[in-house]
Amino acid sequence: MSTTVTTSANTTATAETKTARIDVYERVTNRIIEQLEQGVRPWMKPWNAEHAAGRITRPLRFNGLPYSGINILMLWAEAEDKGYTCPLWLTFNQTKELGGFVKKGEHGSIVVYASTFKKSEADDKGDSVEREIPFLKQYTVFNAEQCEGLPEHYYATKEQPNSTIERVEQADRFFKNLNADIREGGDKAYYTITHDYVRMPFLETFRDSETHAATMAHELCHWTRHPKRLDRDLGRKRFGDEGYAMEELVAELGSAFLCADLSITPELRVDHAEYLATWLHVLKNDKRAIFTAASYASKAVEFMHGLQPKDTAVSDVSTKEGN
């Protein structure tokens, strides 16, 4: 009797876990699809204009460490929807540990992190083997603006930066430290994996210096896919196919993440509508595509950070999420 109950409970728990996992993928993907269908890219706005962390930053954990992967998009979207300018997010318990509390009536935001569980099954020979099955766990966080009683720096604000020159110079130093083969000239920006170089039109041909830097970040994210770097192969066979669209989405997200790290405000590309159509096609066919793209984008940016001198590198970014 007890064995039957336990098995039933485990089966129910497994089903609930599977349903919750599917819900996370579908909820996040559907939200991004909805925004893209409205012509809005949720990763392309200066959400934190009033906070001391700067005009743009990745969402930050309570200890200042940045989130990565899909959580960047999820929390950026939450900040945009609810008007938060603070990039700092805390769990309920972290808020209490810091001497603060969540305001009455506030609702938290969902973030996720990857975990695994072990499952025993028979191999071809009938022997029992254990496999690690990856899945997403989710937990709730609150923006610092939803809390009271936290240390002062959680609420610190500052004036707008005086100019963009210093920020772009920082970006130029960052790009130079990669030692990538970057060739100037022509009227198109692109990366060729066959010859392993980035082609960039001259700075003077861009609308402004930040657009130039954001475009450079995009092409250098493509540069990380080379076999001697991250060896990223998303199944691209020809121009315009789903593998091509996925790689473009990785570079798009990676550029947004890197721009956030370098305090650059990226501008919309002239081929905005064309890319929106290809991304929508991919996302509608695969509910996990945005998770995969965000993960690859974080790895690309982390790889570039790893090539920086230690005394100039931006805060370490871990690809493993945690609470």
Residue 55 has pLDDT above 70, yes or no: no
| Residue-by-residue DSSP string for 228-287 | TTT-------STTSHHHHHHHHHHHHHHHHHHHHTT------TTHHHHHHHHHHHHHH-T
Of 93-97, 294-298, 307-311, the poorest mean pLDDT is in 307-311
pLDDT above 70 covers a percentage of the chain that reads: 77
Q: Is 127 helix (H, G, I), strand (E, B) or coil?
A: coil
Residue 103 has which token pair?
């305001």
70: which 2 tokens?
A: 């899909």
CB 246 within 8 A of CB 22: no
Phi, psi of 167 (to 5 degrees): -65, -40
- pTM for the predicted model, two decimal places: 0.70
| pLDDT beyond 50 at 277 | yes
Mean pLDDT of the chain: 79
Q: What is the mean pLDDT of residues 242-271?
A: 83
Highest mean pLDDT among 17-26, 85-94, 134-143, 313-322: 85-94
Tens of pLDDT, residues 226-248: 999 999 999 876 666 788 889 99
Pairing of strands 147-148, 101-102: antiparallel
Q: Is residue 321 a contact partner of residue 70, using CB atoms and an 8 Å limit?
A: no
Residue 93 has pLDDT above 60, yes or no: yes
Higher pLDDT, residue 304 or 51: 304
| Residue 3 pLDDT | 33
pLDDT digits 0-9 by tens, 281-302: 889 989 899 999 999 999 999 9
